[in-house]
Structure 1
Amino acid sequence: MPTVQTAHPTNKTMLVVFWLYVMVPLAWGVFNTLSQAMKLFN
């Protein structure tokens, strides 16, 4: 008989922390890139 593993519920707090860990530096990089690009057009 095959064993069935139960799925663990997602820890929503950790999920938010990991998304912030990815999105904050990404947003910072996009903001800096756009601000530097705007200097070229002014």
Structure 2
Amino acid sequence: MLNITFSMILCVWFDYHILCAFPAAQIRFLAEVDPDLICC
């Protein structure tokens, strides 16, 4: 249940930044800094 909730939060978080024109480079930077945030 926790994983599902966490995945939903990540999805909303990424959608929010994409809608706000969040730079893809910044997302890549975050992914490199903490790869655990990005799960399959």
TM-score (norm 1): 0.47
Higher relative contact order (CA 8 A, sep 6+): 2
TM-score (norm 2): 0.49
User: Which structure is higher in helix share?
Assistant: 2
